[in-house]
Structure 1
Amino acid sequence: MVLAEKIVLLRKRKGWSQEELADKLDISRQSVSKWELGASIPDLDKILRLSELFDVTTDYLLKDDVREISSNVSEVFEEMSEPSARRVSAKEANLFMDLTEKLSGRIAFAVSLFILSPVPLMFLGGVAEYKHTRLTENMAGGLGVTILLVLVAIGVAILILNGMQLSEFEYLEKEAIFIERSLAEMVEEKRRTFEPKFRVVVTIGVFLCIIGVVPLLMAFGLTEDEFVYVCCVDILLILICIGVHLFVRYGMVHESYEKLLQRGDYTEEKKALGRKTSYFPRIYWCLVTAIYLGISFYLNNWEISWIVWPVAGVLFAALYGIVQAIYRRR
């Protein structure tokens, strides 16, 4: 008999519900359910506490035992379903994982378009300002902004069309879910198989984002040609675009496993916190977009105003962390 079965039987022997055991351990009921499903293992301090509550030794809990401590083995999996949790079937889980893998490339492409959108504008602006051509700054600005808006529009359309296909699975990010042990083991096996590839891709993405600034730094030291600086910034954005594409494409697949297993950013506690703070990203990014467009149109300096986005990204992480910390203390 494994640890998961022992916890179920010992709890039932005491006549406790999952909620009552969770209260005694000062944890969530979902954590107890995961232990009993075998989807996770209690920490050492929790095992010590369980041995005290059940009046058994830690050796008994940790060592597999073929002997049964209850005459009715069928009770082992009784009450394993969670009344307050949404049950996810194997069909739903497989559909979600397959659909995520299918759409991840498209969504990553859309995000890449957002990053690439200012590149033509900056390049044309640089040509008009620093090269002797018939292209005036007004022509460069008009053409560049047109391309920027077209790329953004295409990206938004792709996100809307593909996001709608995933909308039926939004509950995985917000609600408590329950999956059978066999399904959890299958998802965990997929995650373990995918993990090495994911680590390599993340490493490549981070490398590209860091190395992207090298041409610009070298240009500062080797030349005073400002058009070269503009080209180096374009190269920086292109490399960042490739890195972010990798992050999004493979990150979505990795997150699909995390959502089903309720790990990482999708634990019960973090889901509850996310529901309370969900308003912040929407308000923040609407304000950033308004500020970006306002500054760009007012100053007519599109080749520089793009800096709003990386600054806003870093600032968002800091502010969102503060907002979440405030809600945790409440």
Structure 2
Amino acid sequence: MILADKIIRFRKKNGWSQEELAEKMEVSRQAVSKWEAAQTTPDLGKILQLSNLFGVTTDYLLKDELEDEEFIDSVDETIIRKITLAEANEYLKQRKDASVKIAIATFLCIICAIPLFLLIAISELTPFPIADNTAIGIGVISIFPIVAIAVYMFIRVGFKNAPYQFLDKEPFGTEYGVTGLVRDRQNTYHSTYVKYNYIGACGCILAPIPLLCGTFSENGLLTMLMLCITMLIVGISVMFFIVAGVRWSSMQRLLKEGDFSNKRKGKNKITEAIGAAYWLITTAIYLGWSFLTNDWHITWVTWLIAGILFGVVDIICNLVIDKQDEK
């Protein structure tokens, strides 16, 4: 009961309600209520946070006597950086804008090979005589400016996000009102988040239909056009995923939920490194196969296969990491 009494004493001394203390401690009001009713005890991390918040030693909090307070020399406010309402608003606005730019840049990367495919198909038509090598050369060259625009957008987004990188690298807290603000934004956006994911998933499922229709035709140009339509549908579907995902993750990051909870952070770093290596290898295989065989109309399946296998790789990685955590 002693710890519970001390929590109540300091909460009232500071004029905080249970909701306000819960906000500062980043827990639910029910958790604070259980602490004060001695139904549960805060873990060591929360004891340290209470010590810093109340300005007393951890020994005082953990002693089984209600004696005079043992104040620490000074409360180090820099131990945990606090996110203000203004910073939270600015961060959410920045990530909302970034979600659109990232989606467009990714879309450009997906469709960058469309001019190449169309030129290859046109080179086979009699009314538009273009040498195969010329068509391939122009098509390959056209990829570079498209990718350059995408890379420029990625870099710009990265620079604008630089001031908020501490959210992934340092412990942080939130000032009063921030969690409530973000939670309201999250609840408001939830239906849009679900809708965008449905659209993205349906688009990816339906995307192969034009390509399958094109394969039944002996017209090379039509087949290439169907392939390009498939790529456009995939690109648009991925844009919906990215816009929804970036905005939702920004809210989860501030709330320390989902992939941004303390438990998931270590796993995310490992899976991100594996994912980066996986897609670099996939890109190398795609380009190597394409340039060596010149079968650009076939080698695109590399991305389809890689996309399917990546889900399997991700599941295996998470299982292995979970096994290691249990040991």
Identify whether the pair has TM-score above 0.5, normalized to the shorter chain. Answer: yes
Match of 2:165 among 143, 157, 170: 170
**How much has 1:207 moved relative to structure 2?**
2.4
Specify the alignment match of 2:12 in structure 1.
none
Aligned to 2:290: 296
Question: More deviation in 197-206 or 255-264?
Answer: 197-206
In the other structure, the counterpart of 2:280 is: 286
Task: Name which of 130, 139, 142 aligns with 2:134.
Answer: 139
| Aligned-partner Cα distance in 2 for 1:325–1:260 | 27
Q: TM-score, normalization: structure 1?
A: 0.73
CA contact (8 A) 2:207 2:234 kept: yes
Measured after TM superposition, the shift of residue 124 of structure 1 is 1.4
- Contact 1:209–1:240 (CA under 8 A) maintained in structure 2: yes
Find 1:155's aligned residue among 130, 142, 150. Answer: 150
Q: Deviations over 1:96-125 (max 9, x none)?
A: 111111222222111110011111111211
Tell me the equivalent position of 1:327: 321
What letter matches 1:297 in structure 2?
Answer: F
Q: CA deviation at 1:293?
A: 1.9
Aligned partner letter, 1:146: I
**Cα 1:39–1:102 shift into 2, 3 Å:** farther
- Aligned alpha-carbon RMSD (Å): 3.4
- CA contact under 8 A between 1:39 and 1:185: conserved in structure 2? no
Amino acid at match of 1:232: M
- Cα gap change, 1:326 to 1:224, in 2 (>3 Å): same
Instruction: Give TM-score, length-normalised by structure 2.
Output: 0.74
Query: Unaligned regions of 5+ residues in structure 1, if any?
Result: 1-5, 14-31, 55-73
Distance 2:23 2:274 in 1: 31
Q: 1:140 to 1:268 in 2, by over 3 A?
A: same
Are the aligned partners of 1:118 and 1:306 in contact in 2 as well (CA < 8 Å)?
A: no
CA offset digits 1:40-59 (Å, max 9, x no partner):
866xxxx8xx97557xxxxx
User: 1:82–1:178: 8 Å Cα contact kept in structure 2?
Assistant: no
Alignment of 1:269-280 (within 5 A): 269-280=263-274
Q: Give secondary structure in 2 for the equivalent of 1:252.
A: helix
Question: 1:1-330 maps to which residues of 2 (within 5 A)?
Answer: 9=4, 12=7, 36-39=25-28, 53=40, 78=54, 85-129=80-124, 133-220=128-215, 223-330=217-324
Contact 1:35 1:41 (C-alpha < 8 Å) held by counterparts: no
Contact 2:85/2:177 (CA < 8 Å) preserved in 1?
no
Equivalent residue number for residue 65 of structure 1: none
Question: 1:246 Cα shift?
Answer: 1.9
- Cα separation, partners in 2 of 1:265 and 1:41, compared to 1, 3 Å: farther
Aligned length: 281
Distance 2:131 2:29 in 1: 64
Deviations 1:245-265 (A, max 9, x none): 122123211211111111121
